[in-house]
Structure 1
Amino acid sequence: MAHRFEIRQNKAGEYVAYFCYNSETIFWTEGYSSKASARNAIDSILKNGPGAPVEDKT
């Protein structure tokens, strides 16, 4: 699959959820103190993201 979520640890030891397409990182979340919190962020994106409107603020 070309797109995926990844959970990584940053230099501060926090867990960060990344959304990647092919080998490029598209966006990432804030750092969380637990891996479960990063997983909850991914679950929230999957649940709430598909119906989110697009706002053009240009």
Structure 2
Amino acid sequence: MSGKFEISASSNGKFLFNLKARNGQVILTSQLFDSLHHAVEAAQALQQDNKLADRIHRKVSTAGEPYFSIHGDGDKVIARSQMYSSNTAMEKGIDSVLEHAPQALLVDTTAE
């Protein structure tokens, strides 16, 4: 079983996706999109981006926790990770995104 992009509706009527690893763990959460179409397009763009590694920005929260974000054109944040306990754990998260995103299934859960 491969990873998957799960697209869902938020409580405010916007849409987002989570990239989940094979074990079901969320490894990336998108920004909110105004339409289902835009959320799907963004997930598909990550699937097909052969320069995805170049779009990953490593960061540190104000609490000192490492995390990463993925930026699109114009440096707009498309998605970001959870907060990690160490840089090593964050790097494993990045590796997981690079492994799972290209072959992840696209699953629309908005009708559920």
TMscore range, shorter length: 0.7 to 0.9
Partners of 1:14 and 1:32 within 8 A in 2: yes
Alignment partners' CA distance in 2, 1:38 and 1:25: 17
**Which has the bigger relative contact order, CA under 8 A and spacing at least 6?**
2
RMSD over aligned CA atoms reads 1.5
C-alpha deviations, 1:1-58, integer Å up to 9, x for none?
Answer: 7x61011000110001111112101111111121111111010011112111111223
Give the equivalent residue in structure 2 for 1:31. Answer: 83
Q: Percent identity among equivalent residues?
A: 28
Which aligned pairs between 1:1-58 and structure 2 lie closer than 5 A?
4-22=55-73, 23-58=75-110
Structure 2 gap ranges (5+)? 1-50
The alignment's TM-score, normalised by the length of structure 2, stands at 0.47
Other structure's SS at 1:18 match: strand
Total equivalences in the alignment: 57
Which structure's residues are more often helix, by fraction?
Answer: 2
**Structure 1: where are the runs of 5+ without partners?**
none
Structure 1 residue runs of 4 or more that deviate by more than 6 Å after TM superposition: none
Superposition TM-score, scaled by structure 1 size: 0.85
